[in-house]
Amino acid sequence: MNNKKITSALISVFDKTGLAPIIENLIAQGVTLYSTGGTETFIRDLGHDVIAVEAITGYPSILGGRVKTLHPKVFGGILNRSDVTSDQEELDRYEIPSLDLIIVDLYPFEKTVASHASEQEIIEKIDIGGIALIRAAAKNFKDVLCVSDKNDYAELLQLLETQEGTTRLEDRKRFAVKAFNTSSHYDTAIFNHFDTDHDRLKISTSERTPLRYGENPHQQGAFFGPLEALLEQIHGKSISYNNLLDIDAAVLLIKEFYDGAPAFAILKHNNACGFAVRERLDRAYQDALAGDPISAFGGVLIANRPIDLTTATAIHSLFCEVVIAPSFEPEALSLLKEKKNRVLLLLKDADLPKLSVRSCLNGFLVQEKDDKTDSAAELTLMTKKAADQSQIEDLIFASKICKHTKSNTIVLVKNQQLLASGTGQTSRVDALQQAIHKAQSFNFDLNGAVMASDAFFPFPDCVEIAGNAGINAVIQPGGSIKDQASIDYCDQHEIAMLFTGTRHFKH
């Protein structure tokens, strides 16, 4: 049956927000209402008649509300097929009312978990009756319209008004898909909470941000996840797929420096092409830009401090895709908004996923995020020459950038400024030579600079090349069977070398 007039509805929701207009419309169209508990009281308080589910089943709500609707007279009313004669005969025989509309939501399991409630409180928010009602109504979409999310109330109300309470098969099927999404997401959230072994992968998110296209114009793309919980766009064009990859890299990098002195980073193709820490944010920006003013064109900019007018004035002359900061001073915001397409984002204090998931072959690769940050206290001096305090600060600075740069990588730093990096090279020697060439092309003096490597040196060639360029301190994880060869070269040429013991590959 394609078109079907709604004559009866079962309504049982935890959250009553937005429900009243729907009740009023259903009553105006003569629909018989059935309900339970708090929703039944809500409808009566609106001044309307409603039939308690207990009047159908002959049983009250029992076990502290755990069992309300789990009864054949309820599920028979939902699952009966209007075109099957035996189904209709059984409804008559057992005095089961047929139900055309089900409006049900679920206990807020995820919110309860997020509130750090006790285990028993969390268990009590595992919905049983609601999830069963949703699945039953969605399964029988040929006859029943299922609404499982208050965000769909507006669409339901429009349907009731424009179609005078009549639903089409395509309407019911569309809402059924939404209902199955609700039920599957709910079950996934429950499973992931209790699956402490993490030996199975289940991912579900209801938030979808459409993108103009994917990595290239011929590819479709979308972002799935609660993006607005982390970033608020206050100006500019729609964010692209490639923007999001750069933004992700920028956010992860700046969080390494979030509690420190004013820091500014410029990223291009997921790598930092400029970074500096200074006493003032505008100076941090100027020195970050000096690291590679060519690559900065069209880049993503991020700061760990509110952007003031002085900094905004310096930024404004640069063509950049995105600017991210915890906040923008009003005058700075007005200035940066003069470029209509420039994306301005507020970075919020939100938790990031603990796992990294990416497609690989015919499956997925899953790993813990690299949350290890190298610190001065954990460094091991491997050479006769020690690094002074200023060098150690530069080495940790370089190590943090190195961790967030594509492998193989070498990062060169001096006075808390990124001079250059070699990124994504197949050879560590190539990465170093790329970094040296780049630094020298922008007239940086490498004498007294430090070098960071994301992985160990299999041979002493890198420290030799670095030493010849003027670098006098090196930080690396160590772990090569030929570590001693690099250490010996450093000892012979008065270069300090410190081991972190932690590799930071990024592919």
> Catalytic site residues?
139, 269
Q: Distance (Å, rounded) from C-alpha 425 to C-alpha 98?
A: 67
Choose among 495, 277, 250, 267: nearest CA to 381. Answer: 495
Indicate the Cα dihedral angle 410, 414, 419, 420, nearest 10°.
Answer: 0
Distances from the Cα of 66 to the Cα of 84, 100, 149, 232, 275, angstroms: 32, 25, 21, 40, 57
Sign of the four-CA dihedral 371, 373, 377, 382: positive
Residue 387 CB coordination number (10 Å): 23
SS3 content of the chain, % helix, strand, coil (to 5): 40, 20, 40
Residue 221 CB coordination number (10 Å): 16
CB 182 within 8 A of CB 41: no
Instruction: Identify the residue whose tokens are 């997921």.
Output: 270
Give the CA count within 13 Å in the CB-facing half-sphere of 434: 16
Are β-strands 410-413 and 450-453 bridged in parallel, bridged antiparallel, or unpaired? antiparallel
What pairs with residue 232 in β-bridges?
A: 346
Are β-strands 101-104 and 145-147 bridged in parallel, bridged antiparallel, or unpaired? parallel
